[in-house]
Amino acid sequence: MEIMEAMQNRHSVRQYIDQPIDAECLAALEAEIDVCNKEGGLHIQLVKNEPQAFNSLMAHYGKFSGVSNYLALIGPKSDHLEELCGYYGERLVLKAQQLGLNSCWVAMTYKKIPAAFQIGSGEKLTVVIALGYGQTPGIAHNSKPIEDVSNIDDTSPEWFRRGVEAALLAPTAMNQQKFMLSYRTDKVIAKARRGFYTKIDLGIVKYHFELGSGKDHLIWQ
């Protein structure tokens, strides 16, 4: 599955079947985690066969079931940590989709199990991402009009339009889509608006925009 197809097909999934993740799939995912950690200076960890985090009242409130594998997005405390976790977490989400796995970003509706992962001195756990084989592939979320999240107009380059369209496919907290993408003379300004977890959302959005537009991190102003 190509990355853009994975982006189109990937939807949040909260209910999973009781099936271990294939060994080859795990190896590929862990290899990608290593790359993301090196590039982003992060400490993302894959937690396997650990059902307690999603066996709590909060998890049931969030309508989760069958979750025993998840990514713990951890890194050194900084003003940029949440955005970095969003960016590299979504990279792993789409890799998982390519490998045949379903996923869901989770901010509050889980229980922290300290023995399941390591948080080093000066590090912080931001959010987790549930992983596994879903009971269903999920459903597409509703999106705002493209004009509500960008300054796009008839003079905007086609790559900018493709990037914003990809950004609208990005998962955001409570599907709030509180971001703004502005084209400025071959550069793009990305801003998070006020809301829950919007810095993480901004990282996710930036990764989607880069994929859709065909640009890299140098596009950002």
What does the domain layout of the chain look like in residue ranges? 3-132, 146-219
Phi and psi at residue 125, in whole multiples of 5°?
-85, 125
* Reported pTM: 0.96
Tell me, what's the pLDDT at 30?
A: 98
Closest CA to 89 of 202, 218, 217, 219: 202
Tell me, what's the pLDDT at 61?
A: 67
Residues of the chain with pLDDT under 50: none
Tell me, what's the pLDDT at 186?
A: 92
What does the alpha-carbon distance between residue 61 and residue 113 come to, in Å, rounded to a whole number?
Answer: 18
Tell me, what's the pLDDT at 202?
A: 98
What does the alpha-carbon distance between residue 210 and residue 164 come to, in Å, rounded to a whole number?
Answer: 9
What does the alpha-carbon distance between residue 203 and residue 88 come to, in Å, rounded to a whole number?
Answer: 8
Among residues of the chain, what percentage have pLDDT more than 90? 94
Domain 146-219, what fold? NADH Oxidase (3.40.109)
> Cα dihedral angle (195, 4, 37, 128), rounded to 10 degrees?
40
Residues in the chain, overall count: 221
Tell me the sheet residues that pair with 182: 189
- Domains 3-132 and 146-219 equal at CATH topology level: yes
> Cα dihedral angle (154, 160, 164, 167), rounded to 10 degrees?
180
What is the CATH number that goes with domain 3-132?
A: 3.40.109.10
Tell me, what's the pLDDT at 173?
A: 94
What are 156-184's pLDDT values in tens digits?
999 999 999 999 999 999 999 999 999 99
Alpha helices in the chain (DSSP H): 3-9, 23-40, 57-61, 81-98, 158-167, 198-213
Return the structure tokens found at 104. Answer: 């869901």
Tell me, what's the pLDDT at 109?
A: 86
